[in-house]
Each structure stands twice: as C-alpha cells, then as structure tokens.
Structure 1
Amino acid sequence: MSYAMASALQTAVFGALASDVALAGLVGTAIYDAVPSGALPEIYVRLGSETVTDASDATGAGAVHRFTVSVITANPGFASAKLAAAAVSDVLHNADLALNRGRLVSLRFDRATASRIDTASARQIDLRFRARVQDD
C-alpha cells in the first residue's frame, strides 16, 4: 500500500477546480482546503475527508482514494449549490490530472448527498469521488 501520492492528488484536484472557468463563474476563488476564519462567501467549495485503501499490484504501489468535495451555500435553497456541484463534477469526473508524484489511473464521480445545515438556513452538497493512483 502507498499513501505517498495523497498530497500529489490533492494538489492536482485543487488546481483543476481553481483553474476552471465555469466553476469560477459560480464561486469565484472561494475554493478551500481549509476554510479561513472570519466571514465566508455566500457559496464556496471545500476539499473534505478522504479514505484510502491499498491497490498495489505486481506493477507497483498504488491506492484508491475516496475523497469528498463539498459545496456549501448560505442561500436558502439548493439551486445555486447544485449548479456549483455540477461544475465540480464536470471538472473532476474522468479528469486526466497530472500528479507531481505517480500517476492518476482513473478519477470518477461516486455519489453525492445534499443536506440542509446550520438550522436549515444553509445547504451543503457533498460529492464523493474515487481516484485510483499508481506510483510508477
């Protein structure tokens, strides 16, 4: 098993999201690994949790990363969050991201959960993706 490509995958995912014009039109530059303190924008994207399992084989070390990207909005409804979540999915599903260590074998959308948060005034959509990486 190898967790060695976790940082490389996160860097590539963040870069892909931050450089996407369609997503920027919806959330601007509000894409975070760690949410800053203070006032938050009305809508933002946050990189979330990750679960990693071994996927090593005869060709070398590898892993499957299941990670979450969340869209969070203070807007009273899911419309803007769903638009931003669709843009996130468009960027990442089947993306061919270059990693600074190893290589991305595949990246696919797995599932999403939409929920009300903060006493039902805010909305959050958690998108889960599955990435297979190989340390060549």
Structure 2
Amino acid sequence: MTYAISGALQTAVFEALSADALLSGLVGTAIYDAVPVGSLPQLYIRLGSETVRDASDISGDGAEHVLTVSVITTNPGFSGAKAVAAAVSDALHNAPLTLSRGRLVSLRFDRAAAQRIDGASGRQIDLRFRARVQDD
C-alpha cells in the first residue's frame, strides 16, 4: 500500500477542475482545497474528504482513493448547483490526469448526494469519485 500519491492526485484533480472551460464559466476561480476566510461566492466547488485503501498487487504498490468534490451554493434551488456538478463529473470521469508521482490507472464517478444545508437556505451536492493509482 502507499499513501504517497495522495498529494499528487489532489493537485491533478484541482488543476483539471481549474483548467476546465465550462467550470470556469460557471464558477470562475471559486474552486477551493481550503475554503478561504471571509465572504464566499454564492456558488463554489470544494475538494473534500478522501478515503484510501490498499490496492497493491504483483505489479507494484497501488491504492484506491475515494474522494469527494462538493458543489455548494447559497442560491435557492438545485438547478445551478446541478449544472456545476454535471460539469465536475464531465471534467473528472475518465480524465487522463498526469500525476507528479505515480500514475492514474482510472478515475470514475461513483455516486452523488444532493442536500439542503444551512437551515434549507443553501444547497450542497457531494460527488464521489474512485481513483486507482499505481506507484511506478
């Protein structure tokens, strides 16, 4: 098992989302690893939790990362958030990300959950992806 590729995977996911033209049109630069202090845009993307388990085999060390990307909005309704969530899914599902360490074997959409937050004044969609990495 290796957790050593986690940082490289996170960087590649952030860069892929930041470079996506459709997402830039929808949220601009409001894509965060750590949400900044102060006022936030009405619609933004946040890289979230990650769970990693061993996926090593005879070919070498590897891991499966289950990572969450959240779309959060204070706008009423889910429509805007769902448009951004669809763009996130399109940008990441089967994306050929290049990692600074190791390599990405696969990146697939797993599931999503949409919910009301902040006393029903906000909306959040959590998209979960499964990434298989190999430390070559």
The TM-score bracket by the shorter chain reads: over 0.9
| Letter in structure 1 aligned against 2:31 | I
Summarize deviations over 1:4-63 as a string: whole Å, max 9, x none: 100000000000000100001111100000000000001000000000000001111000
Matching of residue 93 in structure 1 with residue 93 in structure 2: yes
* Structure 1 Cα separation of the partners of residues 68 and 98 of structure 2: 19
CA distance in 1, matches of 2:130, 2:13: 12
Shift of 1:113: 0.2
2:82 maps to a residue whose letter is: K
* TM-score normalised per structure 1: 0.99
Cα distance in 1 for partners of 2:36, 2:8 equals 22
Count of matched residue pairs: 136
Q: Does 1:37 align with 2:44?
A: no
| Structure 2 residues without counterparts, runs of 5 or longer | none
CA distance in 1, matches of 2:72, 2:28: 13
Q: How far apart, in 1, do the equivalents of 2:8 and 2:55 lie?
A: 17
Task: Give me the whole-angstrom Cα distance separating, in 1, the residues matched to 2:29 and 2:87.
Answer: 14
* CA deviation after TM superposition for structure 1 residue 120, in Å: 0.1
Q: How does 1:42-57 map to 2 (within 5 A)?
A: 42-57=42-57
For 2:132, the aligned partner's letter is R
The two structures have a TM-score, normalised by structure 2, of 0.99
In structure 2, distance between residues paired with 1:55 and 1:91: 24
Counterpart of 2:75 in structure 1 is 75
In 1, Cα distance between equivalents of 2:25 and 2:127:
19
Distance in 1, Cα, partners of 2:79 & 2:117: 15
Q: 1:1-136 maps to which residues of 2 (within 5 A)?
A: 1-136=1-136
The CA deviation string for residues 83-116 of structure 1, in whole angstroms up to 9 with x for no partner, is 0000000000000100000000000000000000
Q: Which runs of no fewer than 5 residues in structure 1 stay unpaired?
A: none
Q: Which runs of 4+ in 1 moved over 3 A?
A: none
d(CA) in 1 for partners of 2:25, 2:89? 15
